[in-house]
Chain A
Amino acid sequence: MAGSNEVNLNESKMVVPLNTWVLISNFKLAYNLLRRPDGTFNRHLAEFLDRKVPANAKPVDGVFSFDVVLDRSTSLYIRIYRQAHGEEPQLNIADLEKPVPAEVVPVIVFFHGGSFAHSSANSAIYDALCRRLVGICKAVVVSVNYRRAPENRYPCAYDDGWAALKWVSSRSWLQSKDSKVHIYLAGDSSGGNIVHHVALRAVESDIEVLGNILLNPMFGGLERTDSETRLDGKYFVTTRDRDWYWRAYLPEGEDRDHQACNPFGPKGKSLEGIKFPKSLVVVASLDLTQDWQLAYAKGLEKAGQVVNLLYLEQATIGFYLLPNNNHFYTVMDEINNFVCSDC
């Protein structure tokens, strides 16, 4: 009965606070303007609309940040967030890369969401999220400004993630007292997808990733799942827009069973016997792609990997963007336990 022209807005309004609803709806409608039917993307308008914040080496609520350019040619930079430890209010350049003070300090390499096409490391929503993560986990957070689709398709985002991981693991000032950098990968939406694929690359190297955190990770497949049909258009997201983003990210001519999109699908490979990091997978029950996310968690489990699945009832996409709901606090607690269990 829900025809494509009917707009079911009331349901989403009942499950999120009003300011969250305004925030996510605003994104939704703005994003509608940016995706063109021919697969191109209005990047200028996207950058005009994105609310950005600069880095700030002056601590705000105990957290300061600074940017480091890793690759000029691709504008690959990372934004590093750290806790201020009773320094004077004015931090100078030399203080930014002071060695981490505690016995064990988790370093979370964070990949922002945006379905591979939207947002940046300096987007206000992600800057805020990273700052919260620092405070809650007492971690250093490194947010990666990876290249985006459709201008930069697979595997650019993974390449950039990998470059950032290598950089992080080679910083002596990020080492805990055991002379090792305690690295976790985290990301939401497309960022969650990047976490998986960067962790996969790390497996074949000597870089150890201690854990993966996937928040509403972006996975998919050719098949139309039940959740996609059931929840299409009801909670900010449509299968049409999901399809558009996959078409924009995957190599031309590839379909959604490509292993970037569907790592445990027909073209995927099993992780059995592989030393893959433990995973925390957070799934929102009102996310239409949840069947794919659950299948991902299952795929890890079947391969004998350690996976902690957190399924949130009545949660929509983007619940973690504002700290105004129980799900936010539940998830932050879980993340904190996840990275601190090794402390």
Chain B
Amino acid sequence: MSPYDSATSAGSSSGSSSASSSTKPADIDGLLAGAGYKVRSSDLCHVAQRLERLETAMVNSPVELSQLASSDTVLYNPSDIASWVDSLLSEFNHTPSLPSDLPDLPDVVVGPGINPTVINEADATWTDHDAPQQQQQQNVQSLTIPPNQLTVVTAMEEDSGIRLVHMLMTCADSVQRGEFSLAGSLIEDMQSLLRRVNTTCGIGKVAGYFIDALSRRIFTPQANGLFGGSASGSASAFENELLYHHFYEACPYLKFAHFTANQAILEAFDGHDSVHVIDFNLMHGLQWPALIQALALRPGGPPLLRLTGIGPPSPDGRDSLREIGLRLAELARSVNVRFAFRGVAAQRLEDVKPWMLQVNSKEAVAVNSIMQLHRLLGSDPNRSPPIGIVLGWIRQLNPKIMTVIEHEANHNQPGFMDRFTESLYYYSTMFDSLEACTLQPEKALAEIYIQREICNVVSCEGSARVERHEPLAKWRSRLGQAGFRPLHLGSNAFKQASMLLTLFSAEGYCVEENEGCLTLGWHSRPLISASAWQAVPDANSPLGIVTL
């Protein structure tokens, strides 16, 4: 039972934590928490002293201040005021005349090219209990991602649009209550109403997809794997890859994911001569050319790069994994990066065993999961969800970094109505963002890609329902409990992501920083989250953890 389950009213907006008593955070100032900052009440004095010291440093070194203001100094997790101020303080040269009664600065250096894991030692200064415990407390306190975040992006002028939504809700409600004949007749009403609404954009288009998903649930449950069976119906791996590729082209979500993950991986691999990337879903390997090229340009030369790509088996004797691997090898050769590829064919991620990855002890490992972990949350009543096992063996591998990109949505709630409402909002926003895209057929195929997700969330159950998206706060809790700690993504990654977006995408996409993670959203609604993790050192680990 995760602590998040009980946090139904996730604290008041004024910041006092009113989550369940079993997870009351240690002494965090509630009002500052409401403003987005984490400071312990008992630390306020200390933080205030630090702020004073920083101000003095700024005033006494105006040259450094302007350098700092215009430099590319990397900053991390502004919510943690204490460590943020300390990292700034370390940027200034200290004169001996500063008062000596102030406590010593922690051993932290911030600067470009520095391994971000060093910074996290500073984070540990105020969390002096078990890391997982503290993660738990942090998540309950996390007011930045309350449940059921909702953005109505399209102003609903049309009465028909509003009626459609009303009917969708009523229909979903009757489905939840098992009143299938009522639900069925509502489907018919909605389909006729759809004919009077503009379905090429806006609420009409999204409603159309949800009506379709509901009708599948009501009329053809078995065919859609409602009671088990194949998750993607008759969709082939080839189709999935094609749709994915077009989704990649039509909007920036996957590009953001790849870019942010690669940046973090590059930094994690700094100083290592032998590196191994494990990609949980290779697809067409779109993420990797950029990393290969970045490694090629690395000061001091590229490492030996191994890439292990996991993907579904090809049905017709083709070895599509190997084909992708060959193309990537070709690219690597052209830029003089020593490269080796291995494909691991598995229908499901949980079927992969760590020995298949052939990790050797001398290499730095990066595990890359783009929208894969949520698929492991499946609730087969006969077994516990595979997420625990998979996170367990990832931890055993002791990767230098695990990059996790997930939908920023709560589509795994037990109640159907909750899931339905959440996903209606979420996908409305996503479709709205897609409207700016003019590329065809990319846009049309991207819509089908999204539609498949909608169908899975709405019309599937049990092991067939794989799109079990959970928000960042839940992942933080889960990963923390599984023995991982966050590697914070910094202001450099933020800036580059923002800049790329303004260059390549329509107005309206927006990157936000969320306690060391980055989210990409449309206007004010985050839709995708990117985070990076590392295994917490475990004295009992058979691999003998080495940190740095």
A-to-B contact residues, CB < 8 Å: 5, 7, 9, 13, 18-19, 21-23, 25-26, 28-30, 32-37, 42, 44-45, 47-49, 51-58, 60-61, 63, 66-70, 72-75, 77, 79, 89-94, 96-97, 120-122, 124-125, 127-128, 131-132, 145, 321-324
A32-B65, A42-B69 known; A22 vs B47 contact (CB < 8 Å)? yes
Assess the B155–A69 pair: CB atoms within 8 A: yes
Assess the A54–B44 pair: CB atoms within 8 A: no
B-to-A contact residues, CB < 8 Å: 8-15, 29, 31-32, 34-37, 39, 41, 44-45, 47-48, 51-52, 54-56, 58-60, 65-66, 68-70, 75, 78-79, 81, 85, 88, 143-156, 162, 165-166, 169, 417-418, 421, 424-425, 436, 491, 494-495, 498-499, 507-508, 510-513, 521, 523-526
Q: Please, which residues of chain B bring their CB within 8 A of the CB of A56?
A: 146, 148-150
B168 to chain A, nearest CB (A): 8
A28, B85: Cα distance in complex, Å: 12
A26-B37, A33-B68 known; A60 vs B525 contact (CB < 8 Å)? no
Which residue among B52, B146, B148 has the maximum number of chain A CB atoms within 10 Å of its CB? B148
A22-B47, A25-B48, A93-B165 known; A47 vs B511 contact (CB < 8 Å)? yes
Q: Please, which residues of chain A bring their CB within 8 A of the CB of B31?
A: 19, 322-324
**12 A-B pairs with C-beta separation under 8 A:** A25-B48, A29-B54, A29-B85, A42-B70, A52-B36, A52-B512, A54-B145, A57-B148, A79-B524, A92-B421, A94-B165, A128-B15
Assess the B524–A60 pair: CB atoms within 8 A: no
B357 to chain A, nearest CB (A): 35
Assess the B54–A70 pair: CB atoms within 8 A: no
A130, B494: Cα distance in complex, Å: 28
Assess the A51–B144 pair: CB atoms within 8 A: yes
Assess the A60–B37 pair: CB atoms within 8 A: no
Assess the B75–A54 pair: CB atoms within 8 A: no
Q: Please, which residues of chain A bring their CB within 8 A of the CB of B145?
A: 54
Main secondary structure of the interface of A (DSSP, over half): mixed
Partner of A25, one of B51, B75, B491: B51
A26-B51, A52-B512, A90-B418 known; A66 vs B152 contact (CB < 8 Å)? yes
Assess the A67–B151 pair: CB atoms within 8 A: yes
A96, B154: Cα distance in complex, Å: 12
Assess the A48–B14 pair: CB atoms within 8 A: no
A209, B3: Cα distance in complex, Å: 47
A197, B68: Cα distance in complex, Å: 36
A45, B69: Cα distance in complex, Å: 9
Assess the A92–B524 pair: CB atoms within 8 A: no
Assess the A94–B494 pair: CB atoms within 8 A: no
Assess the A29–B58 pair: CB atoms within 8 A: yes
Task: Please give me the residue from chain B that is nearest to A59 by CB atom.
Answer: B9
A107, B88: Cα distance in complex, Å: 42
Q: Please, which residues of chain B bring their CB within 8 A of the CB of A131?
A: 13-14
A30, B510: Cα distance in complex, Å: 21
A137 to chain B, nearest CB (A): 15
Assess the A58–B507 pair: CB atoms within 8 A: no
- The 3 A-B pairs with the shortest beta carbon distances in the complex, nearest first, are A51-B36, A124-B36, A57-B150
A45, B35: Cα distance in complex, Å: 18
Q: Please, which residues of chain A bring their CB within 8 A of the CB of B418?
A: 90
Assess the A19–B78 pair: CB atoms within 8 A: no
Task: Please give me the residue from chain B that is nearest to A5 by CB atom.
Answer: B59
Partner of A124, one of B35, B417, B526: B35
Known: A22-B32, A89-B8, A94-B165. 20 other contacts (CB 8 A): A13-B48, A19-B44, A25-B48, A25-B51, A26-B51, A28-B55, A42-B70, A51-B79, A53-B146, A54-B149, A55-B151, A58-B147, A68-B152, A77-B523, A91-B150, A92-B169, A93-B152, A97-B162, A124-B34, A132-B13
Assess the A67–B511 pair: CB atoms within 8 A: no
Which residue among B15, B31, B145, B524 has the maximum number of chain A CB atoms within 10 Å of its CB? B524
A201, B401: Cα distance in complex, Å: 55
Partner of B35, one of A73, A90, A321: A321
Q: Please, which residues of chain A bring their CB within 8 A of the CB of B154?
A: 69
A122, B417: Cα distance in complex, Å: 27
B332 to chain A, nearest CB (A): 32
A129 to chain B, nearest CB (A): 9
Assess the B13–A61 pair: CB atoms within 8 A: yes
A58, B436: Cα distance in complex, Å: 29
Assess the A53–B150 pair: CB atoms within 8 A: no
A22-B81, A54-B524, A128-B14 known; A68 vs B155 contact (CB < 8 Å)? yes
Assess the B13–A63 pair: CB atoms within 8 A: yes
B499 to chain A, nearest CB (A): 7
A91, B152: Cα distance in complex, Å: 12
Q: Please, which residues of chain A bring their CB within 8 A of the CB of B51?
A: 22, 25-26, 29
Assess the A66–B150 pair: CB atoms within 8 A: yes
Assess the A49–B151 pair: CB atoms within 8 A: no
Assess the A128–B13 pair: CB atoms within 8 A: yes
Q: Please, which residues of chain A bring their CB within 8 A of the CB of B524?
A: 52, 54-55, 67, 77, 79, 120-122, 145
Assess the A48–B146 pair: CB atoms within 8 A: no
B452 to chain A, nearest CB (A): 23
Assess the B148–A69 pair: CB atoms within 8 A: no
B38 to chain A, nearest CB (A): 10
Which residue among A21, A29, A132 has the maximum number of chain B CB atoms within 10 Å of its CB? A29
Q: Please, which residues of chain A bring their CB within 8 A of the CB of B35?
A: 23, 51, 124-125, 128, 321-322
A42, B85: Cα distance in complex, Å: 18
A36-B66, A69-B523 known; A132 vs B14 contact (CB < 8 Å)? yes
Q: Please, which residues of chain B bring their CB within 8 A of the CB of A94?
A: 162, 165-166, 169
Q: Please, which residues of chain A bring their CB within 8 A of the CB of B55?
A: 7, 9, 25, 28-29
Assess the B148–A75 pair: CB atoms within 8 A: no
Q: Please, which residues of chain B bring their CB within 8 A of the CB of A324?
A: 31
Assess the B508–A75 pair: CB atoms within 8 A: yes
B526 to chain A, nearest CB (A): 6
Assess the A90–B417 pair: CB atoms within 8 A: yes
Partner of B69, one of A26, A34, A57: A34
A32, B154: Cα distance in complex, Å: 37
A45-B75, A92-B421 known; A19 vs B146 contact (CB < 8 Å)? no
A44 to chain B, nearest CB (A): 4
A53, B150: Cα distance in complex, Å: 11
Assess the B45–A9 pair: CB atoms within 8 A: no
Q: Please, which residues of chain B bring their CB within 8 A of the CB of A323?
A: 14, 31
